[in-house]
Structure 1
Amino acid sequence: MAEITRFTVENVESGCVTDEEHPCFAFVVTSEVEGDAVASATISINDQIIDATEQIAVRYMGPALEPFTSYAAELLVTLTSGATATAQTSFETGRLSTPWQAQWITDGDYKFTEKKVSPRPMVFRRVLNLDAAKAVKSARLYATALGMYDVTINGDKISDYYFAPGFTSYKTNLQYQAYDVTEQLAASHNSTLVATVTGGWAVGSFVFTRVNRVTAPRQAFLAELRVQYTDGTTEIIATDSNWQVTLDSPVKTADLYDGEVFDARDTFTADAVSTISGKSVAWRTAALENVRIHPTITADYSARVKVHEVFTPVSCNRLSSGELIYDFGQNFAGVVRLHLKNAHNGQTIMVKHAEIINNDGSLNTTFLRTAQATLVYTATEGGQTYQPQFTYMGFRYISVSGVSAEDVEVEGVALYSDMKQIGHFSSSNPQINRLQKNIEWGSKSNLMDIPTDCPQRDERMGWTGDIAVFSPTACFNFDMSRFLNKWLKDVKAEQTHGGGIPNTVPVQGYGFPATMPKMAIDWWGDACVLVPWAEYQARGDKQILRDMYDTMKKYVKACLFWAHLWGTGDKRYIWDTPSVLHFGDWVAPDVPQMSQWQSRSKWTATASLNNTSRTLARIAEILGETEDAKKYNQLADRVAQAYINVFTDGRGKLKNEFQTAYVLPLYLGMFPENQRAAATENFVRLVEKNDYKIGTGFPGTPYILFALADNGRADVAYKMLLNDACPSWLYEVKQGATTIWERWDGLDENGECPIGDDGTDIMISYNHYASGAVGAFLYKRVAGLEQTSAGYKTFRVAPIIGGGLTSAETNVQTPYGVAASSWTFDEETKQFALTVTVPVGTSAEVILPNGEKYTVQSGTHTYTTTLHPEITSENNETRANEEVRA
């Protein structure tokens, strides 16, 4: 029996509205027949038939699609066993190239001049008097804003989407959303549409310098309502001077960092006729806005931010001040939901947020810096519920004042981009399992429409370095396709004409190094190469490589420019620019100062140039760019040679020894074969001297365990992984962490925060996913599951036994179906058992710890063997670096 378990268009299973002229389809099929594969597949779109020779990235190449049109797609799959299966889906086209009839509107009287704050919210209104003689067949609202908007019709929200239109590089890319409002308008021809627009990222305060009005001097709204009647006629109601606007709003203030002030006494009625502070709402004619940017406005292509998990508090304590302190038991990004039971008119409730608490039980808000992270809610009479719409916080704890515990129920609402979780891992070690949960929650908290650094302080910016090193782990745990495709469009758009990539994308008010056209920052700018490579490895669609190829080439050229700027011979391939222009070994715990992290930049930057060049060579080969592949491979070889000649004694020992300086060349295969073993032992010596504790910063941490295990020292890798002394991953777990910390020493053994003056302005986040990149080691080495070709078309299962673990399992939803590895080991009997699941249309190489090898096709396969005492983690066969990284 065959079954199609997933059939997508543009990487979504339902509800797709797209402006893509050649939408992309993919499908997953299962079969009970071992070794089954797809023999043929066709996708029918109206009268067009597509032969689906692959299961992923099947592009529609038929006649041009019409705008504002619904299309049905039917899939027929025939397997080699003779079994067949069918599935259906549908999608809509958006505007495509249809010009907007709508005009941008604003409040022409509002002059927003204040600095470091967000503007007053604007509310737009239009009374919809549809033709009462006609029946509504369908109605779609197409809307966007400069700012952050939310729409109601007759007082009811039309979407569960947060933070529309999303965060993009607004000067080039702006999304619009399409909403199906047929039901609302069919029920009432006389309806009132209200749109609230706050400052958001475009106009509100952003980045740690709290700049505002980066994209526009004030908010603006653009919308078209297209109503199709059953008689075939269409009515279009577009934003223009027939709309009304007011600054009188129940949302008094809304700021991403500071929070929201909301007065429920002023909430609009269904017809938007109400009073504000006892006075009638001051509606006036909306003004047309001359918008100063000219982006491409495209149907939403993001993974929309939505509500996910909802937490109830695990405890509530009352301080002597009267404040109620709630602990949700989990650090996360989102908002609170207040259920007030018997509020009185004018009662004001204040909610503050924090990641940790002080010894006296109060919130520690010091590390939020300028972010106020506060909600102020003024109630009306009786029972009511409040949940903010235009802000979010990173928190585990909240304080609530102005209400008794008996009169309020509190919930924590997790917000993050709507990415399906596709990867899972667990083991016999509860601390490792908690680490995996911390990795997952660090991801969820920071995949908030863009890949942020942290969700709590006055930052939440799209730092490129974090996602550059974390992307393989992110792509294993989540379907990152829409999320990363969206963000990479902005990376491409933000690249300077000299090839540099900004440290944060979108830049949105953060200048350095965007103002220096050729400025390239190692490992941070590398995101333009490493992130699309990680997504391609996970999903198998070459288009992401093709879309980013020129960007990658320009970036590597910029990196090489800086390396060539000084020196001769080998030194022309050592990237040694002033350390203040780099992050270097960022937050490495073996040195205490920011300047010391940065001073290691010539090692990290040179290894970066090797890595981006080698990766670009692989990409060039995949894309058929043969000459480029040869050129970039030669460059990578030359950089590796320079690293060895300049930084080492030529016998595997670094002249200046620190962990990252060994990790990178060992992981990247930069040491010649006759020096690799000696380099490994020199590295092990450093690790042992440091009591198996972490000594690496951002560039080295993701690869440190690979550098050990793949060079014959899995025993040392396991000792480091399982270490619970500071600094280590399990130290954070031991201290009660529920996410990954920015810095290893965020709390001492007594739960204190010993952050001193290290030049970072008390920089400490307790929800910062970068060091969670260790997840890749758990999946690829502990459980042993690793793709050997893109999209897991082929993969390897080769678990490394060690660390006292008696079991581990992982599974991932690949583009072809679920691939899984699950093993157990009995210490007494030495019996090892491994179960491998292979999806239809793929194959796997299985390598048991005793070296036995098997190649298997689709199905579930189990292997058992006795592991003799000499087969331990100390003696696992060294893996070839090229094979591992490919």
Structure 2
Amino acid sequence: MRTPFLIGCLLFSWYTTSAQIAIKNLLTENLKNPICIDAQNPRFSWQLTEKYNKAVIQQAYELQVDSSTFDNKSHSPLWSSGKINSDQSVYIPYSGKLLLSGRKYFWRVRVWDTKGVVSAWSEQAFWKMGLLSTPDWHAQWIVPASNDTVNAAAPLLRNNFSLNKKVLEATAYISSHGFYEAQLNGHKIGDSFLTPGWTSYNKRLQYQAYDVTSLLTEGENAIGVTLGSGWYRSPLGPYTPRANFYGDKTALLMEIRIVFTDGSTKIISSDKNWKSSTGALRFAEIYNGCIIDSRLEKSGWTNPAFNDQDWLPVRVMAYPKNTLTATYNETVKQHEVFKPIKIITTPRGEKVIDFGQNLVGWVKVTLKGHAGDSIKIAHAEVLDKAGEFYTENLRAAKAENIYILKDTVKRTFEPQFSWQGFRYIKIKGIKGPLNPDDFTAVAIYSDMKASGSFSCSNPLLNQLQHNIQWGQKGNFLDVPTDCPQRDERLGWTGDAQVFSRTAAFNMDVHNFFTKWLKDVAADQYKSGSIPYVIPDVFTNGTDEVGGSSGWGDVSTIIPWNMYYAYGDKKILENQFQSMKAWVNYIQKQTRNGLWVTGNHFGDWLFYSVNDDRDGISAITNKYLIAQCFYAYSTRILTNSAKVLNKKADEEYYAKLLTQIKQAFVNEYVTANGLISSDTQTAYVLALEFDMLPVNLRQQAAARLVKNIELYHGHLTTGFLGTPYLCDALSKFGYADVAYKLLLQDTYPSWLYPIKQGATTIWERWDGIKTDGSFEEPSMNSYNHYAYGAIGDWMYRNIAGIMPAAPGYKKIIIKPVIGGGLSWAEGKYECPYGSISCKWEIIANKLNMNVIIPQNTTADIFVPDFQGKTYKKFTVGPGNYHYSR
């Protein structure tokens, strides 16, 4: 037998004495030079670099903040931290004088390394404070004078104003009831869509800030704003959608703060002097699409020369401003575009276009015809087995855009205030053959930066990663929705919590989830129960529609996952009372320490057989699942209390956790370790959440493997069991079984949908059955990311990248070899910089390349080419190569 050998090459040394340290990627509240911060103690982060790629560990830092630039300055800064002995380079809070509303501030930082070498001052970054209180707003809420209802034409609001000086700087602050799109002098303000975003509007209403300096001119100017029903009043919810949930009128709040070159200022605000009308957008709704009648277009209405003599004056309303909050999360923007890959005539003779990717957004279409021609574009995710356009799974959602032409001029149309989930479109009203150049599909999603990538030697796993990422893109649309196509598109809590760790690998979801979690707390019932969807549109806040295990646990699981991914304690601070209220709610529901009451979804969409005479449906007792999640949330709450130095809470919930686990064992586990629900999910949750005594864990893992064998190497788990399945197997020495499950390509499995042509993750394991028929249309989405939670295991195990400390201050690199893979590579952008690990097996030899970012340390575990043994190395920042 060949003796394994190992060579480790450190490609640059660390703790150098001649470092030329530089500082990059300066962020304020995780944003680059933001212009709307309403936190009185904003936090600063930075990354380190070194001119010659030598390793640097920060030993100290000094921060300076001022209200003007640092160039050629003789006076002292507004605030200086002084030299602080700390290796912390993320989320350092400002601790100076009170910051003023609307003011711009500048900051810079320098650092010392472990040898006392000091860097130069960084380049200066800046941020601008938002409008911090109700009196700071000069704008008034205004509503259109038109017949403004959910089914009526979209209101247009406009105003002219004059500027007689040269503009130095101008910032527009905008919020609305419903969606808004604003223009200045004929140009769109910003590049965001679906603003102001979706929050629990009656408790938290976001506003956005835009730099509009370049859009203003000396002389006459004009503002134009289109309003849409949006999430504010579109019918929301499946089966019996409720319109006007937050209110029945759209409204606008807007002001532009202008600073002239001579130092004087001016504020342009929404007020009684604005006018309103309607235009080409005759209908716009989330589920049903929009109607644009270009015959009614008001050309040039956002330009100063437009004649608005026939427009009606707006009404001023006394809507509250104390719920307004600045926007930190990334807004929805346009991203990838797709051209048709195939033009199809279906057996029924319908004209259909295939874009090759199930995506979320809309189709830009160039049309030419005659005045009054009506072009209808419908949307679908799949074709049926006969090749016909299939929309039954959209339920009541029409998902149809209609464009009515005003003349014979060729024009480009796209929907406004609506979007669709689709791969295919069906076109009615175009005479003659379709020209593929006339159609472009545009993907939209929250503008989160890509943070991770995964690839390997197996093309099916690469497609799985692709599908996971596109499921996230399509459903991370300001809130984490369950699906993007049917009459739902809601922030289902269970889906979000099971996917949150994978989400954080693929994209920087720090601000995205921080925002959404605030609405989790805002909409939490007084009892402590958590609604099924956030924002909660199932109730008015009095009747409780929630409290399900695995769904309500979103209030503890995501805050902890985000804290561990980004190292930001403030997430735990923000959510701690909500977390505590949820656990306390469960405790009040228990009987003899067992959570055996309430409504639970259980292991949603687990493997089941309709005519189950042999008892092979994988049914797991809902209350057993509830007890496991009760324990998990309590464990998270205990750990969070420890992080936040809440000693009394830590001790209380640690004791409670012991009682919860003992009650579980007493009720659900035999003396020999058999769990009463002898299913994969039961064993997975018991193992993952440490519900079993140590002496029963390994045999429970063996029972899990035996159960998988019973189903011929297939998983049977649903929404709650699936995310932890491969993880539990790996932890207890069955990584080979985890790989077999991952690579299984017959139903039920992760790869079966890929074999069926999926380009996103399906809601059901058999959304399309082996005979080409569909699962029941009432619950059959083809873009539903929950089962994509396996991505977390792929990053952590195949690529081998995981945090050893919150925020990756310390890193573990430990790839698991298996599955017949000859190579795999993972990359991840953590708060400190880029991490990567690539391994490859050539001629029974493993080569591994690793990058560890500055100001971190890592434990690198290098496997042999069979993955049977590991060699451990503790290292600092650097590029490393290993051969074994």
SS of equivalent residue, structure 2 residue 491: coil
Match of 2:3 in 1: none
Q: Aligned partners of 1:466 and 1:522: how far apart in 2?
A: 12
The residue aligned with 1:224 is 255
Aligned to 1:660: 681
1:185 and 1:831 map into 2 onto residues whose CA distance is: 64
Question: Does residue 617 in structure 1 map to residue 638 in structure 2?
Answer: yes
Match for residue 584 of structure 1? Answer: 602
Partner of 2:10: none
Q: Please say if 1:264 is aligned against 2:294.
A: yes
| Structure 2 residue 131 is matched with structure 1 residue 95 | yes
Once structures 1 and 2 are overlaid, which stretch shifts more, 231-240 or 813-822? 231-240
Measured in 2, the distance between the counterparts of 1:2 and 1:190 equals: 50
Matches within 5 A, 1:314-333: 314-319=341-346, 323-333=350-360
Q: Which range moves more in the overlay, 604-613 or 393-402?
A: 393-402
Q: Which moved more, 1:205-214 or 1:516-525?
A: 516-525
Q: 1:273 to 1:300 in 2, by over 3 A?
A: closer
Number of aligned residue pairs: 835
Match of 1:237 among 227, 247, 268: 268
**Counterparts of 1:127 and 1:772 in 2: how far apart (Å)?**
50
Deviation at 1:497, TM superposition (A): 1.2
Q: State the alpha-carbon separation in 1 of the partners of residues 309 and 788 from structure 2.
A: 50
- Helix, strand or coil at the partner of 1:762: helix
> TM-score, length-normalised on structure 1?
0.90
Aligned-residue Cα RMSD (Å) equals 2.4
Q: What SS does the corresponding residue of 1:776 show, helix, strand or coil?
A: helix
The structural deviation recorded for 1:439 is 0.7
Q: Which amino acid aligns with 1:646?
A: E
Conservation of the 8 A alpha-carbon contact between 1:315 and 1:326: yes
For 1:65, the aligned partner's letter is: L
Give the distance between the partners of 1:683 and 1:822, measured in 2 at CA.
31
Cα gap change, 1:518/1:383 in structure 2, threshold over 3 Å: closer, same or farther?
A: closer
Counterpart-to-counterpart distance in 2, 1:725 and 1:154: 58
Structure 1 residue corresponding to 2:366, chosen from 329, 339, 349: 339
Alignment of 1:51-200 (within 5 A): 53=86, 54-80=88-114, 82=117, 84=119, 86-97=122-133, 98-108=135-145, 110=147, 112=149, 118-128=151-161, 130-132=162-164, 134-186=165-217, 188-200=218-230
Distance 2:153 2:60 in 1: 58
Distance across 1 between alignment mates of 2:879 and 2:646: 38
Match of residue 56, structure 2, among 36, 42, 45: 36
CA contact (8 A) 2:538 2:545 kept: no
Distance 1:518 1:210, change over 3 A: closer
Contact map agreement 2:179 2:196 (CA 8 A) in 1: yes
CA distance in 2, matches of 1:497, 1:531: 21
- CA separation in 2, counterparts of 1:698 and 1:684? 19
Residue 374 of structure 1 aligns with which residue? Answer: 400
Partner residue, 2:727: 706
Report the equivalent of 1:25. 44
Greater Cα offset, 282-291 or 169-178: 282-291
Aligned counterpart, 2:30? 11
Q: Deviation string for 1:247-282 (max 9, x for gaps)? A: x21111000111111122333332459999xx9985
Which residue number corresponds to residue 628 of structure 2? 607
SS in 1 for 2:215: helix
Cα deviation, residue 597, structure 1: 8.7
In structure 2, the partner of 1:567 is none
Select the residue among 833, 845, 867 that pairs with 1:831: 845
Cα distance in 2 for residues equivalent to 1:704 and 1:515: 37
Secondary structure at the aligned position of 1:847 is classed as: strand
Q: Which moved more, 1:212-221 or 1:606-615?
A: 212-221
Q: Which residue of 2 aligns with 1:883?
A: none
Q: 1:195 to 1:78 in 2, by over 3 A?
A: same
Q: Is the CA contact 1:119–1:198 (under 8 Å) kept in the aligned structure 2?
A: no
Contact 1:175/1:298 (8 A) holds in 2: yes
Q: State the shift of 1:438 in Å.
A: 0.7
Shift of 1:737: 0.8
Report SS of the residue matched to 2:747: coil
**For residue 593 of structure 2, what is the aligned residue in structure 1?**
573
Partner SS for 1:440:
helix
| Letter of the structure 2 residue corresponding to residue 455 of structure 1 | P
Give yes or no for contact 1:464–1:504 (8 Å, CA) kept in 2: yes
Deviation digits for residues 364-401 of structure 1 (CA, Å, limit 9, x no counterpart): 11000111111111234323222223111111111122
8 Å CA contact 1:17–1:94 kept in 2: the answer is yes
Write the mapping of 1:538-553 to structure 2, written as runs, cut at 5 A: 538-553=565-580
In structure 2, C-alpha distance between the alignment counterparts of 1:591 and 1:92, rounded to whole Å: 58
1:104 aligned partner, one-letter code: W
Given the superposition, is the C-alpha separation of residues 49 and 379 from structure 1 closer, same or farther in structure 2, using an over 3 Å criterion?
Answer: farther
What is the aligned partner in structure 2 of residue 418 from structure 1?
447
Which stretch of structure 1 is more off in the superposition, 172-181 or 514-523?
514-523
2:72 aligned residue = none
Q: Residue deviations 1:449-487, cap 9 Å, x none?
A: 001000000000011101111111111111111111111
Provide closer, same or farther for how the CA distance between residues 505 and 593 of structure 1 changes in structure 2, counting only shifts above 3 A.
farther
Bigger drift between 834-843 and 225-234 goes to 225-234
Q: Per the alignment, in what secondary structure is the counterpart of residue 215 of structure 1?
A: coil
In 1: Cα distance, 2:436 partner to 2:343 partner: 13
Find the aligned partners of 2:468 and 2:633 in 1 and give their Cα distance.
Answer: 25
Distance 1:495 1:65 in 2: 32
1:249 corresponds to? 279
Alignment partner, residue 632 of structure 1: 653
Decide whether aligned partners of structure 1 residues 275 and 728 sit closer, same or farther in structure 2, where only a CA change above 3 A counts.
farther
How many angstroms apart in 2 are the aligned matches of 1:105 and 1:184? 23
- Is the aligned partner of 1:802 residue 2:829? no
User: What pairs up with 1:503-514 in 2 under 5 angstroms?
Assistant: 503-507=532-536, 509-511=537-539
1:181 Cα shift? 2.1
Q: Distance in 1 between matches of 2:251 and 2:834?
A: 45
Unaligned runs of 5+ in 1: 565-571, 866-886
- Give the TM-score normalised by structure 2: 0.91
What is the Cα deviation at residue 421 of structure 1?
A: 0.6
Note closer, same or farther for the CA distance 1:385–1:66 as it changes in structure 2 (3 Å cut). Answer: same
Aligned equivalent of 1:741:
762
> Which letter maps to 2:838?
S
Report the counterpart of residue 315 of structure 2 in structure 1.
287
Q: Which residue of 1 aligns with 2:558?
A: 531
Cα distance in structure 2, aligned partners of 1:272 and 1:862: 60
1:494 to 487, 498, 523: 523
CA distance in 1, matches of 2:611, 2:878: 53
What SS does structure 2 have at the residue aligned with 1:496?
Answer: coil
* Aligned position for 2:15: none
Is there any run of 5+ residues in structure 2 with no aligned partner, and where? 1-19, 67-76, 864-868
Aligned counterparts of 2:224 and 2:317: Cα–Cα separation in 1: 18
Is 2:621–2:677's contact at 8 Å kept on the other side of the alignment? no
Correspondence for 2:427 among 389, 400, 406? 400
Distance 2:366 2:145 in 1: 37
For 2:500 and 2:151, how far apart are their aligned partners in 1? Answer: 32
Output the CA distance in 2 between the equivalents of 1:307 and 1:602.
Answer: 43
Per the alignment, residue 703 of structure 2 pairs with 682
In the aligned structure 1, how far is the partner of 2:473 from the partner of 2:570?
26
- Secondary structure of the residue aligned to 2:81 is strand
Q: Specify the alignment match of 1:872 in structure 2.
A: none
From 489, 492, 517, the counterpart of 1:463 = 492
Would the aligned equivalents of 1:650 and 1:675 in 2 still touch at CA under 8 Å? no
Q: 1:308 to 1:345 in 2, by over 3 A?
A: same
In structure 2, C-alpha distance between the alignment counterparts of 1:123 and 1:297, rounded to whole Å: 23
Q: 1:20 to 1:636 in 2, by over 3 A?
A: same
Q: Deviations over 1:412-443 (max 9, x none)?
A: 11100010011111111111111111111111
CA change 1:321–1:733 in 2 (3 A) is: closer
1:646 is matched with which residue?
Answer: 667
Q: Work out whether 1:437 is the aligned partner of 2:466.
A: yes
1:504 deviates by 0.6
Query: In 2, are the aligned partners of 1:245 and 1:284 still within 8 Å (CA)?
Result: yes
